[in-house]
Amino acid sequence: MSRRLLVFAATALACALAWPASAQPWPSRPVSIIVPFPAGGSTDIVARFMAERLRVLYNNSFVVENKAGATGNVGATAVAKAPPDGYTLLFSTSGPVATNVLIFKSPPIDPLKDLTPIALIAEVPLLITAAGKHPFKTINDLLDYDKANPGKLNYGNAGTGGMGHMASELLASMTGRKFVSVPYQGSAPVTKDLVAGMVDVSFDLAPTYIPHIKSGAIHALAVTTTKRLPDLPDVPTVAEQGIANYEASSFVALLGPPGLPADIVAKLNAAANDWLKTAEAQTALANQTLLPLGGTPEMLQARMRKEIEKWGPVVKAAGISLGQ
């Protein structure tokens, strides 16, 4: 055989051996699902339920990794810089994929450009609660007390620029008030101080507070979403109490790096929507006081854009800012 034929045969053999590897359908190896918060929170718990669903569906490993830091920016940035091959995904609340871009002076990513939306998973309602030592039981009671005692009440939240902080600033702006905001590092410490009476009022994501509300240790003044919560059917929304058009909530979503192939997006979107219809998913979400959503990637993109547009003026008016 001539040298030219030998070279041709070797090249053909190499291509034949390489072809199956390059043509392997996704997923052919473990997939990392990054949660940009510490383990044990609502987002992390739900991510692990969904990862198990995907493992069974695709007979492949889907491994949840917690990459916390910078209010979720560390994890979101890791996904934004990952190869768009479907092996690195993001399971996050709205802060790192929407509103963080408003509160950081130099945000590391533009979520509308640097992430690929896949699916909305759940709505995250907030509660406005008060320490048990206070007499007020409704939003109007709170506002009347605040008006009569300006600057006396402390309003706790789980962190500067988080949804609880922005929700309190939205209420303040809509009612012409100025609240004394007290940021904490997470929901657990602000809940602890609220129960102890060291902070007067809290605006925060719902799950941590419900056991203390049911025990009578704290008062639930209002739900910030447009509908009441199944766990607290007697607690009215803010809008129901006369502050029309008030709404504040976070969301949980699945996203990927920029340029994620459309076929992988379609597979994951279908899997997420199918999972949300199962009793397992509905129970998992209900246990974390989350409300199932679902929908198309375009719906998630629109929701991200809407959150940025909605909260931009609130953040600017309140002077909320993080970073250099």
User: Which CB contacts under 8 angstroms, 24+ apart, belong to 100-103?
Assistant: 100/71, 100/72, 100/73, 100/76, 100/161, 101/308, 102/161, 102/308, 102/311, 102/312, 102/315, 102/320, 103/71, 103/160, 103/161, 103/315, 103/320, 103/321, 103/322
pLDDT at 3: 52
Q: Which CATH number describes the domain made up of 125-241?
A: 3.40.190.10
pLDDT at 187: 86
In the chain, CATH 3.40.190.10 covers 125-241
Mean pLDDT in order along the chain per 10 residues (324 residues): 49 47 79 93 92 96 94 95 98 95 94 98 95 94 93 92 93 93 89 95 90 94 94 95 94 98 98 96 92 96 97 94 77
Instruction: Quote the pTM value.
Output: 0.87
In the chain, CATH 3.40.190.150 covers 30-124+249-318
CA distance 218 to 214: 8
Most distant CA pair in the chain, distance:
99
pLDDT at 181: 93
Q: Which CATH class is domain 30-124+249-318?
A: alpha beta
